[in-house]
């Protein structure tokens, strides 16, 4: 209702719908990189709730690549956008995006997931170092858990040049390559693992995880460069204060019950994603061409 | 030189042939025969059913009624008979294949697939027989040339050689000379004559030039409206008889023109 | 019959000349080497193919496999199809419609430019050689760029979704249809063209009054053929993010829902066959092949 | 001249009948409505495109801008090209080669099956209607599935790399080339076919000795045309993960190296134009169109 | 009825026309003229340059030398002259357009693009003039039919109407009747005759039938090897003169045939 809207706007400072969405709509880009089938309804629900909070209509646009989102942000076609962690690094660098919020975990802090490398149960490979001279399936270029994180692990182990790493095209494809015996090892992150197991595509007991990454913070929602700081602060405020019913609904899609009274989203800062940025730099992904 | 007309010893006997396309009856009980050693010409106006009758005999059309007997063997309607060969007005060689390969193709009917899946599989004896057939039509020296490179008259002779290689006893020719210049026509007609005289084939040719028919054939058959109008020794067919064949067509043409002129006036 | 009277049989002349054999062997060897090298480079091998066949079977019909550790797992395949109405079929139909819209606009928006290029690039309508050459060169370059690359470029310009897909198709189609159209103008009967030139008609007038009326049915036929192709391309563009059913096919693969994916694929098959039949019917109707 | 002796001028009869006008208006209205609806569904708007030129400009030539949130962004555009030899050009040439190999194998591996389908689906070589119908139906279905969908399926089924791209191309090409070939067999001169039938040749013999020799040059021409098309398709397949230069174009886009991407795109343009010219030359050489 | 030959008052004057295709000289200083109200026939063997000369006059070929003067105006080589119209053997109408639109197209040369970008833009007066031209050739009642639906003779008359609509003073006709049946030929020749007599056009027609030439024209020009062999009043041209035109060609043909027969023997 308009009453609630006025209230929230007041709570967010002097910023109202006129500043947030001068033409009535706020566009939000979504890149459901890891698990589109679950994430699209999540963000649609989230968009609706956010719109009610801000007194704007939030238009959710689905993309399959962060490049599209970032270019759209640069050109003012997108106000806010959700990115994969690595995508966010590019967004920050190429479009001056500011992180606003990300999903909370059971503990009320930002949720995270881990990348992993799996091998068949009876494989002689016991550690990352053993991967030298073997074939490893990665998902696709620009993926955080499917490309950057495992590649960093190979670099850290000093065997990057000795591993025949190939892009399978996606997390699913990488997992199937392992299941079908096409490769000696494959990247499988904790989310893909969960959904593949749920779908009956993967039997954990037939395989073994030889490496697990540090936790990777989940996808942030970030504001585009054309949004003034006070406006993005208002949007951040609204995101972390989503109404409980919307939070519950999102929780249903995500298959977790948010702790009563706790928010679905928590605020994040550039510092939170510093490790990923460093990762990208280490991998030479974002350096300008010479 | 010319054999007598011995109906009893006929090599090809066509009896009561009927064929209709939709509503239109094209052959209406056509009956004729051709004996070994004999050249028979078929004359008739456009659309009188000459081509259709030959196509029925070689199995390219399925007649509605009638029997076709070759050397005592009755053909199945719509199926090719190995002893009957046909030479077409448009010749129908495979232009990119050599003359020899075209002639060999006449023998496909008696070759198994294992000896005919490609020209490379043609057995030696067949190629030698084909060379003999080519020699018969005077073209043995052109055997390895592409068929499409020969002149019209030469191609028509290659088509005859292909018919010979089929070991045919009956040779049907549908306007074999109408695409040829006068000199080439003479050659081909001479060849047909000698196949009857020297090799004992039964030859039936559709012609549109009554003169040629009279000079080269033993008997002339006149067709009109799908049935036989006359069947006489070549010498006995006079100009009037021939003209009678084409008159109805001429009259129709003139009527149409008159109507058009009136419309313009 | 008098085979006996025939002259002695002639020797069969050799089929090939030695030089011909040498050339033939050289070409064959060359082709074999190139293909062998290509097979190595692309990991193509009969063995791979047979193993791949196993994988494909599992993909299509599911997998019941006992692993070395004695456990048996069950994997759902693409069949049986996912035929739930409101979760799969109904949204699938919507995505199909969007795919059609993209293909349609990608075709029709390209008509004006394609016509211009066709007229410039046909000898019948343009005898000014530099312009003719320029038209053909531009079309060659535009045609050489795959639609997906256009899509990536236009995402930068207009954001994402179906619109960049439409532009990508339209630009690619300008070049392809322009070429097809100019070829059919080249083949037009030159008689009426000369007749109008004698009457003093300018090149533009000749194009409007002799060339276009003559080629219109074949232009329309080619347009329908391109519509057909563009709907197919729009499925492809979907898989790289330009909306429509292609996007959802990719999404379902990424979510392991092979049965839903296969349902969408079947819908694509039906869609494209229907469009094929429709455009064949319309082409017969307007009298173009 | 004696215009005066001419009869009084005749009235000009009306150009259209009223029923014709009604049908014309109805069709025009229908087309407008369909296109308008399609434009709404795909967010197509000239305004977006015109406003978007800035984005395309930035994409092509780079961006230096301070945004309202205070951040200054520098982004390299697609031009100038990235012409470093060992980092870009040399690997680019290798990827191009792989793309050619994929296109080549995708074409040649499909030859046997395409020939079989062509012979089954041509009226000239197969007069057994049920088989004829079955052949055409199978080809329709196979043809309706775009190559990228095959690629997605085979990547999911048998793994990644160039090999699934080769299979995807080959399967699609069986159907497309089978159709093109069967059409050219349908159009073959029936004369030699009838001549051999009269000589008692079986359908297979007729195909081998009358149809194939006659259509061989046009089959070869169509094969070369498909090679051309398949190399282009193999670029597209690369962007969904099936190897070759298309894959690297996508990778460079994902890393915001637009200049490197554009270098690869230019290499694709050159590659495809070269193949185009080569196959046109070869087609002239074998005497097919 | 037939106008005298007044060279001084010639409407079309062709002088010293030369044209070579590569090495081959096709027109070798051809000179002739045609006056208003006169029908002139051009006879000559195949390849004697008849068509090429007409194509040079209407600007479809660019002559290497020579002048073309119409009504005192000298044409630029290779460019169309608005006062010269041409009727072709193959007629060259746009078959899918209506008869009336085809006739209107004759006037394109004097219409701006704004009134000719489509048939819908043709001005009313033009359409009325075109109807008058159609009436002149007796086809006003077929104005809205598709041109392709008419018979050959009728189409040829539409082509003449298109020439009239061009307001031509000179009408060139290249084998205007050789694709037509005898009745249609008569109609078209009568029409050409009456255009000269009643409308005062200068008409030049290439014909392959000397009989028609003698019956319908005032003068006959004989061409051989690209230049004029004779130029006489129609009545004075005898069979021998005409036969002389075709003799060299006949001789060449016979020589070729003789060579072929020898090869066969
Ligand atoms: N396949 C067909 N379908 C329908 N009508 C046919 C067919 N073949 C022939 N006809 C018709 O049958 C009639 C006889 O044709 P046919 O070819 O036998 O005549 P013809 O005597 O050989 O004439 P021509 O001298 O012109 O060769 C013609 O009116 C022709 O139109
Ligand atoms: N565009 C051309 N290029 C080369 N040679 C040409 C061309 N046009 C005509 N010729 C040659 O010029 C000669 C004269 O041709 P033209 O058509 O004028 O003869 P014609 O008298 O009209 O013969 P016909 O009675 O056959 O129509 C011919 O030998 C022809 O081959
Ligand atoms: Mg006939
Ligand atoms: Mg001529």
Place of tokens 């021998």: E240
Residue D224 has pLDDT above 60, yes or no: yes
Q: What is the 3-state secondary structure (H, E, C) of D44-69?
A: CCHHHHHHCHHHHHHHHHCEEEECCC
Least confident stretch, B122-131, B250-259, D115-124, E116-125? B250-259
> What is d(CA D271, CA C21) in angstroms, rounded to the nearest whole number?
32
Residue A64 has pLDDT above 90, yes or no: no
Q: pLDDT tens, A133-152?
A: 899 998 877 788 888 888 88
Angle between helices A66-74 and A85-95 (to 10 degrees): 30
Structure tokens at C144: 């050489």
DSSP string for residues in E114-130: GGTSSGGG--HHHHHHH
Cα B49 to ligand 1 centre (Å)? 6
Q: What does the buried/exposed string (b/e) look like for D147-163 if buried means 16 or more CB atoms within 10 Å of the residue's CB?
A: bbbbbbbbbbbbbbbbb
The alpha-carbon radius of gyration of chain B (Å, integer) is 19
Tell me what percent of the residues of chain B surpass a pLDDT of 90. 52
Q: φ, ψ for residue B184 (rounded to 5)? A: -65, -35
3-state secondary structure of B20: strand
DSSP 8-state class, residue B234: G
Instruction: Categorize the per-residue pLDDT at B18 as very low, low, confident or very high, splitting at 50, 70 and 90.
Output: very high
Nearest neighbour of D43 by CB, restricted to C162, C253, C273: C162
**What number is the average pLDDT over the span D158-180?**
87
SS3 content of chain D, % helix, strand, coil (to 5): 75, 5, 25
Closest CA to D77 of D264, D262, D252: D262
Q: φ, ψ for residue C92 (rounded to 5)? A: -60, -45
Best probe residue, ligand 2, of E49, E176, E208, E225 (max atoms within 8 Å of C-beta): E49
Mutate to test the interface with B, among D188, D195, D220 (most CBs of B within 10 A): D195
Find which of A74-78, B25-29, D74-78 is predicted with most confidence, using mean pLDDT. Answer: B25-29
pLDDT at position C3 is 41
Closest CA to A63 of D255, C151, D61, D256: C151
**What number is the average pLDDT over the span A52-59?**
87
Answer for the pair B208, B178: CB distance below 8 angstroms, yes or no: yes
Whats the size of chain A, residue-wise? 290
**What number is the average pLDDT over the span A166-193?**
84
**What number is the average pLDDT over the span D154-174?**
83
> What is d(CA E33, CA E69) in angstroms, rounded to the nearest whole number?
9
> What residues pack around ion ligand 4 (CB closer than 5 A)?
E 51
3-state secondary structure of B231: strand
**What number is the average pLDDT over the span B49-53?**
92
Q: Is the CB of B21 under 6 A from ligand 1?
A: yes
Ordered by where they begin, the domains of chain D are 85-285 (1.10.3720.10)
Mean pLDDT of all residues belonging to chain A: 81
> What is d(CA E146, CA E99) in angstroms, rounded to the nearest whole number?
6
pLDDT at position C65 is 66
Measured in whole angstroms, the distance separating CA B105 from the mean position of its chain's CA atoms is 18
Best probe residue, ligand 1, of B49, B55, B204, B228 (max atoms within 8 Å of C-beta): B49
- Return residues 98-157 of C near D (CB < 8 Å): 98, 100-102, 104-105, 108-109, 140-141, 143-149, 152-154, 156-157
pLDDT at position B34 is 95
Phi-psi region of A181 (alpha: psi -120 to 50; beta: other; left: phi over 0): left
Residue A9 has pLDDT above 50, yes or no: no
Cα A142 to ligand 2 centre (Å)? 69
pLDDT at position C285 is 80
Q: pLDDT tens, E185-203?
A: 888 899 999 999 998 999 9
**What number is the average pLDDT over the span E41-59?**
90
Answer for the pair E214, E40: CB distance below 8 angstroms, yes or no: no
Q: pLDDT tens, A81-112?
A: 988 888 888 888 888 889 999 888 777 788 88
pLDDT at position E2 is 41
**What number is the average pLDDT over the span D241-252?**
83
Closest CA to C193 of C127, C142, C237: C127
Strand arrangement, sheet containing B202-206: B84-87, B170-174, B202-206, B39-44, B219-224, B227-233
Mean pLDDT of all residues belonging to chain B: 86
Residue D1 has pLDDT above 70, yes or no: no
Ordered by where they begin, the domains of chain E are 1-80+172-265 (3.40.50.300), 84-167 (3.40.50.300)
Contact between chains at C146 and D243 (C-beta distance less than 8 A): no
Answer for the pair C231, C268: CB distance below 8 angstroms, yes or no: no
Residue D185 has pLDDT above 60, yes or no: yes
pTM for the full model? 0.79
pLDDT at position C161 is 77
**What number is the average pLDDT over the span B21-40?**
92
- Is the bond into C80 cis (omega within 30 degrees of 0)? yes
pLDDT at position A56 is 87
Give me the residues of chain C with pLDDT under 50, please. 1-7
Residue D151 has pLDDT above 60, yes or no: yes
pLDDT at position C5 is 41
- Return residues 77-96 of B near D (CB < 8 Å): 80-82, 84-86, 88, 90-96
Residue E147 has pLDDT above 60, yes or no: yes
Answer for the pair D38, C101: CB distance below 8 angstroms, yes or no: yes
Residue E216 has pLDDT above 90, yes or no: yes
What is the nearest CA distance from C194 to chain E, expressed in angstroms? 7
Closest CA to D148 of A141, C232, C82: C232
Q: Is the CB of E83 under 6 A from ligand 2?
A: no
Contact between chains at E80 and C198 (C-beta distance less than 8 A): yes
């Amino acid at each position: 209702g308009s009453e609630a809207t006025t209230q929230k706007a007041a709570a967010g400072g002097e910023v109202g719908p006129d500043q947030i969405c001068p033409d009535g709509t706020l566009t939000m880009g979504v890149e459901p990189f890891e698990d589109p089938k679950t994430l699209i309804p999540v963000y649609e629900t989230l968009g609706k709730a956010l719109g009610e909070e801000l007194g704007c209509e939030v238009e959710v646009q689905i993309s399959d690549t962060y490049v599209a989102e970032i270019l759209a942000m640069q050109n003012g076609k997108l106000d806010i956008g959700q990115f994969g962690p690595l995508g966010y690094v590019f967004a920050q660098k190429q479009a001056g995006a500011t992180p606003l919020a990300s999903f909370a975990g059971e503990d009320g802090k930002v949720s995270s997931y881990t990348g992993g490398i799996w091998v068949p149960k009876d494989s002689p490979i016991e550690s990352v170092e053993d991967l030298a001279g073997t074939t490893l399936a990665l998902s696709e270029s620009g993926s955080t858990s499917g490309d950057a994180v495992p590649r960093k692990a190979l670099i850290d182990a000093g065997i990057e040049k000795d591993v025949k790493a190939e892009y399978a095209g996606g997390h699913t494809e990488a997992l199937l390559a392992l299941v079908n015996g096409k490769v000696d090892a494959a990247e499988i992150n904790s989310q893909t693992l969960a959904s593949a197991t749920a779908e009956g595509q993967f039997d954990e007991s037939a395989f073994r995880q030889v490496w697990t990454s540090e936790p990777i913070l989940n996808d942030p929602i970030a504001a585009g460069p054309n949004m003034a700081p006070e406006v993005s602060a208002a949007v951040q405020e609204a995101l972390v204060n989503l109404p409980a019913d919307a939070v519950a609904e999102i929780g249903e899609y995500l298959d977790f019950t948010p702790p009563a009274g706790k928010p679905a989203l928590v605020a994040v800062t550039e510092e939170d994603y510093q490790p990923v940025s460093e990762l990208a730099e280490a991998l030479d992904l974002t350096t300008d061409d010479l | 030189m010319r054999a007598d007309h011995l109906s009893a010893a006929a090599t090809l006997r066509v009896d009561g042939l009927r064929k209709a396309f939709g509503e239109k009856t094209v052959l209406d009980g056509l009956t004729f025969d051709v004996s070994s050693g004999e050249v028979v010409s078929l004359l008739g106006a456009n659309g009188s059913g000459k081509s259709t009758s030959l196509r029925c005999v070689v199995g390219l059309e399925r007649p509605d009624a009638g029997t076709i007997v070759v050397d005592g063997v009755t053909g199945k309607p719509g199926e090719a008979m190995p002893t009957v060969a046909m030479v077409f007005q448009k010749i129908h060689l495979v232009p990119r294949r050599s003359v020899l390969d075209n002639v060999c193709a006449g023998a496909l009917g008696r070759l198994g697939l294992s000896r005919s899946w490609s020209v490379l599989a043609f057995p030696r004896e067949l190629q030698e027989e084909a060379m003999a057939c080519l020699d018969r039509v005077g073209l043995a020296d052109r055997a390895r040339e592409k068929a499409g490179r020969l002149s019209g008259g030469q191609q028509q002779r290659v088509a005859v050689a292909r018919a010979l290689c089929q070991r045919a006893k009956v040779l049907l020719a549908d306007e074999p000379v109408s695409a040829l210049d006068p000199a080439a026509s003479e050659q081909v007609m001479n060849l047909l004559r000698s196949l009857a005289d020297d090799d004992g084939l039964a030859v039936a040719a559709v012609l549109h030039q009554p003169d040629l028919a009279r000079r080269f054939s033993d008997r002339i058959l006149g067709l009109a409206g799908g049935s036989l109008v006359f069947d006489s020794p070549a010498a006995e067919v006079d100009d009037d008889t021939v003209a009678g064949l084409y008159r109805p067509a001429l009259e129709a043409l003139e009527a149409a023109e008159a109507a058009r002129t009136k419309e313009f006036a | 019959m008098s085979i006996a009277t025939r002259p002695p049989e002639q020797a069969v002349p050799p089929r090939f000349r030695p030089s011909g054999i040498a050339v033939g062997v050289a070409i064959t060897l060359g082709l074999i080497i190139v293909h062998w090298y290509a097979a190595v480079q692309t990991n193509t091998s009969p063995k791979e193919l047979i193993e791949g066949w196993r994988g494909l079977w599992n993909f299509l019909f599911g997998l019941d496999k006992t692993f070395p550790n004695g456990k048996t797992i069950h994997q759902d395949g693409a069949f049986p199809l996912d035929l739930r109405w409101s979760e799969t079929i109904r949204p699938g139909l919507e995505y199909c419609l969007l795919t059609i819209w993209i293909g349609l606009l990608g075709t029709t928006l390209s008509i004006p430019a394609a016509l211009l290029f066709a007229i410039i690039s046909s000898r019948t309508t343009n005898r000014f050689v530099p312009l003719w050459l320029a038209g053909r060169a531009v079309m060659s370059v535009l045609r050489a760029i795959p639609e997906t690359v256009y899509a990536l470029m236009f995402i930068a310009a207009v954001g994402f979704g179906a619109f960049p897909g439409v532009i990508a198709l339209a630009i690619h189609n300008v070049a392809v249809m322009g070429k097809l159209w100019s070829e059919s103008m080249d083949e037009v009967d030159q008689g009426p063209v000369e007749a109008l030139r004698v009457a003093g008609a300018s090149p533009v007038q000749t194009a409007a009054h002799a060339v276009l009326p003559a080629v219109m049915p074949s232009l329309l036929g080619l347009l329908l053929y391109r519509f057909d192709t563009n709907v197919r391309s729009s499925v492809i563009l979907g898989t790289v993010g330009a909306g429509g059913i292609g996007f959802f096919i990719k999404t379902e693969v990424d979510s392991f829902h092979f049965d839903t994916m296969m349902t969408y694929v079947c819908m694509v098959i039906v869609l494209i066959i229907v469009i094929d039949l429709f455009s064949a019917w319309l082409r017969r109707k307007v009298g173009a092949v």
